[in-house]
Chain A
Amino acid sequence: MIKTDVLIIGGGIIGCSIAYYLVKEGVKTVLVEKDDIASGASGACDGFIFLQSKKSGIHLEMALKSAGIYANLTAELGCDLEYRRCGGMIFAESQEELSYLCELSEKQQKNGLEVKILSEAETRSKVPGLASHPRGATYCPQDAQVNPILTTLALAGAASKKGARIFTGTAISEMEVVGRRQGKGRIIANSVAAKDKIKADFVINAAGAEASGIAGMAGFDLPIIPRRGQILVTEPLPKVLDCLLMSAGYLAAKFCRDDDMSIDCGVTLEQTAAGNILIGSTREFVGYNKRTTYEGMTSIAANAIKFFPQFKNFKIIRSFAGLRPYTPDGLPVLGYVNGIRNLIIASGHEGDGIALAPITGKLVAELVVSGAASIDISELSPNRFAAERQQT
């Protein structure tokens, strides 16, 4: 039997961030990961810390707070995270998309985001090589990029240095809920590899795309499903892109479950510190299949050339895919579960896991230490889906 204050399930960027903020508060923490640190979506994504893609309200509020933490995280962790406040742009292909972006940014400005509308000419002068068809864009200088793998490893390393115990190659096989009848359910988790029970005062489900399976072990119905994102990697190139780029179509596809849009859904581009350009992405519902496909790759390539005709001779050296944890309303799941008083869910960030990891870690640590978060996260409650189901 392993006894600990907190058990975190999942060694992605969310789990590692939570572990870091917990041990910082002096909480005894165990993290179990069935594979390796950053072996899931956190190691198969781009490094967008994108603020202007967030809905105004709690989503943007969290992103702004997270961006503030990121600005000092390199110094705090003492490792190079390849963090750069490079700015980001969403371009519109039609007047319709442009007015949608204007509407979105107006609300975001009220939340305190420095986002502005760029005319066609301004857009083109900021992004050399852009095709002639985009009608304009929104630009936010606060958008930044980071290396997600390095950040996850650095958070895990810092947590472990401060005393967190991290077990990789260790899966949770079952969870016992005791005392549910008295309305005071508690969880005891069993792990396969450790052949050990883990008794924790709090259990945190940070299993990303696999969070629903883990929640199911505790008898809780969590509607998080995997959504595959394929990404192309170019050879290392001299600097050709300064800021992060996204087409409005990609943002729209986030809130759309239409299968026609899942493969051909716009484009994102980011040049990493090493010089490779990461070109994304698809948003497909194909279960737990992590392979890249011919259809997905050709569609991403065609979209990239449509926006950047001059990139046509850049060489692609690899493709990869990650499973983003999708939620029906596009918002992450964060908070206590009704009926089991020591189970916290912290998953369902879909494509926003990297951007929201620091603030998620901080908020979960607050939930554990003081019982409540410093900002109102009731909108993100894991119990919101049950309420919706009852209404319909």
Chain B
Amino acid sequence: MKDKLAKIGIINKAELTQSAAFPSEERLRRGPVAVIECLQEIPCNPCEFVCPEKAIEVGKPITNLPRFLEDRCTGCGLCIPHCPGLAIFVVDLSYSEHEAVVQFPFEFLPLPAVGDEVNAVDREGIVIAKGKVKAVRNPQRFDKTPVISVIVPKEFAMEVRSAKISPRSKVLSPKSKINNQIKSKNLWSRHRTSDVGRRTTIVCRCEEVSGDEIMQAVKEEAPSLKAVKNRTRTGMGLCQGRICAKIATGLISENAGIPPENIKPPTVRPPVRPIALDQLATGKEDD
């Protein structure tokens, strides 16, 4: 079922419509609704907690795919910027007789302006229609994942998932972007506001290690990722630190007073993503 996704990294329509999170046609016709395009069983569940209507369920284990209770969804779109995989969209088929509105996360610069005409692209990044920007939302609580609403012809509503914006204003060079990221040394505090939140929040989701446990390990003279890993299992789970290493680095940096760029990144070992034993043994591809 996850044929396309596993092979080329792009979901096809058949894979999507079979997913438990896909809204029904009837619900789509009724108005704005979340379209969750999440088919990989990774340890991830922010969508479950951010939805004010409790319309998304992941539950335990955390690697479950999300289940979608479509009648609860109001189409508010809060889930869009909170999905780390940028896999959630909001589609409104009721916008007008011939047009629909698609909302998608957009982590590129420059941002378009309301009223701009943009090239709307499909999941493969191919331009398939012209769209008009209806809204650009980028408040602080979206944590640097702006959400763009684009009006497109109705027949493309389930295909358009992003847009190509031509550079217009001064574009930050990739280098200065990286520098900015390093300069914002407090990677962790960007995400948290209260001390209680800091202590109880799970940093390593696969092994369920809290911020508190990591800070405790750092206190026991362990100002490196490898040492924190050995003491707490941070990064030993399914994702192998791909999700938590950055946040753990921020925490170590803050608690040990070492700049994050001086903290050695985790040792990268194959496989890049989980692979079945027989695939590894025979080198054969997915069925």
**A residues with CB within 8 A of B:** 36-39, 43, 149, 153, 168, 232, 234-236, 274, 292, 294, 297-298, 301-302, 304-305, 311-320
Contacts and interface: CB of A to CB of B under 8 A. Distances in A.
A204 B231 CA distance: 26
B226 A39 contact: yes
A96 B115 CA distance: 81
B274 A315 contact: yes
Nearest to B267: A320
Contacts of A305: 277-278, 281
Nearest to B239: A317
Contacts of A304: 277, 281
Contacts of A149: 230
Interface string B26-53: 0000000000000000000000000000
B178 interface: no
B199 interface: no
A153 B231 contact: yes
A38 B230 contact: yes
A319 B221 contact: no
19 contacts: A36-B226, A37-B230, A38-B230, A43-B230, A149-B230, A153-B231, A232-B277, A274-B233, A294-B270, A297-B270, A298-B280, A302-B281, A305-B277, A305-B278, A316-B271, A317-B237, A317-B274, A318-B240, A318-B271
A281 to B, nearest CB: 15
Contact of A317 (B226, B230, B271, B278): B271
B283 to A, nearest CB: 7
Contacts of A39: 226-227, 230
Interface string B256-281: 00000000000001110011111011
A312 B277 contact: yes
A311 B280 CA distance: 12
Contacts of B238: 235-236, 317
A313 B278 CA distance: 7
B240 A317 contact: yes
Given A153-B231, A168-B221, A312 B275 contact: no
A362 to B, nearest CB: 25
Nearest to A166: B221
B224 interface: yes
B277 A313 contact: yes
Given A36-B224, A292-B269, 18 more contacts: A36-B222, A39-B227, A235-B238, A235-B274, A236-B238, A301-B277, A301-B278, A301-B280, A301-B281, A305-B278, A312-B281, A315-B274, A315-B275, A316-B276, A317-B237, A318-B236, A318-B271, A319-B271
A301 B226 CA distance: 26
A47 to B, nearest CB: 14
A298 B283 contact: yes
Contacts of A234: 277
Nearest to A299: B281
Contacts of B274: 235, 315-317
Contacts of A315: 274-277
Contacts of B227: 36-37, 39
B241 to A, nearest CB: 10
Contacts of B281: 298, 301-302, 304-305, 312
Given A153-B231, A274-B233, A297-B270, A314 B277 contact: yes
A85 B281 CA distance: 31
Contacts of B276: 312-316
A241 B278 CA distance: 19
A318 B230 contact: no
Given A168-B221, A292-B270, A298-B283, A316 B226 contact: no
A33 B177 CA distance: 38
